[in-house]
Structure 1
Amino acid sequence: MEDVLGRVLVVDDDEVIRQLIAVNLSLEGFQVETATDGQDCLDRVGSVQPDVITLDVMMPRLDGWMTATRLRGDESTNHIKIMMITARAQEDDKKRGLAIGVDAYLTKPFDPAELIQVVRDLALAARSTSA
């Protein structure tokens, strides 16, 4: 087994948020790559091969909903754990995410400890199903 806890692709168009998430996860032992929006995520997911993707909802080019839908609809990526991290905290948004197949939902502003725990749980689940 690798020393890293798992590979995470952090997707957010806000550089400050993207770096905040990436630094917190890196310090915990995750291998982290970043993408600036949904299209960048889809372009990079094959080479990164993440266990978990953290995904913002509101982004240019391709939003988080469509990105998650495309990830779930593709046989090569439908196994990747998806965690939405968004300011959209409405119950309808959460239901939409669950309908798409999102594995976890965290609202901004978020507690870094909660972020780390949820990503750790998802990475463990991803690795146990692929082992």
Structure 2
Amino acid sequence: MGEVLGRVLVVDDDEVIRQLIAVNLTLEGFEVETAFDGQDCLDRVVGVMPDVVTLDVMMPRLDGWVTAERLRNDEETRHIKVVLITARAQEDDRRRGLGIGVDAYLTKPFDPAELIQVVRDLAVSARAGGL
């Protein structure tokens, strides 16, 4: 087995999508953990300390917007790269995500190859100490 490309926390309340993302990233050489919603993400993120978090927007308990804001506002997690993955494709939503400070924004249905490339680029940047 080769070197691990990075650690990713995949957050989505849809188990099928969560597993699809996790399997694709694992096959590419990432170490993957999963969370089922934003609250689960926040409960686990410091213990996992991923390079990248992929984050669905529409989730119960705590949505992706609030989760991303909390990740950005916490000294321990603000350096983690965040990819929003959402069915919300309106420009206002994209602007909102960028305003929060997310690193990438992908819309569903997404191309797994594009997701892998985005996560790879962000993980390399994170591991190089890039902001």
The equivalent of 2:63 in structure 1 is: 63
- Corresponding residue number in structure 2 for 1:48: 48
Q: Give the root-mean-square deviation of aligned CA atoms.
A: 1.0
Q: Secondary structure of 2:106's match?
A: strand
CA distance in 1, matches of 2:125, 2:91: 25
The count of corresponding residues between Structure 1 and Structure 2 is 129
In structure 1, give the amino acid aligned to 2:43.
D
Map 1:31-46 onto structure 2 (within 5 A).
31-46=31-46
Deviation at 1:3, TM superposition (A): 1.4
Partner of 1:121: 121
Percent sequence identity over matched residues? 81
Q: Give 1:87's aligned amino acid.
A: A
Which consecutive segments of 4 or more residues in structure 1 shift more than 2 A? none
Question: In 2, distance between residues paired with 1:68 and 1:53?
Answer: 9
Correspondence 1:37-116 to 2 at 5 A: 37-116=37-116
**What one-letter code is carried by the residue in structure 1 that aligns with 2:86?**
T
Partner of 1:22: 22
The runs of 5 or more residues in structure 2 that have no matched partner are none
Pairing 1:8–2:8 present? yes
C-alpha displacement at 1:96, in angstroms?
A: 0.2
Q: TM-score, normalised by structure 2?
A: 0.97
Offset of residue 109 of structure 1: 0.3
Give the AA of the match of 2:75.
E
For 1:129, what is the secondary structure of its paired residue? Answer: coil
Give TM-score, length-normalised by structure 1.
Answer: 0.97
**Shift, 1:68, TM fit:** 0.3
The one-letter amino acid of 2:83's match is: M
Q: Deviations over 1:2-40 (max 9, x none)?
A: 810000000000000000000000000000000000000
Q: Kindly provide the CA deviation profile for residues 56-105 of structure 1, in whole angstroms up to 9, marking residues without a partner as x.
A: 00000000000000000000000000000000000000000000000000
| One-letter code aligned to 2:11 | V
Q: Which stretches in structure 1 are left out of the alignment for 5+ residues? A: none
- Give the whole-Å Cα distance in 2 for the aligned partners of 1:109 and 1:64: 17
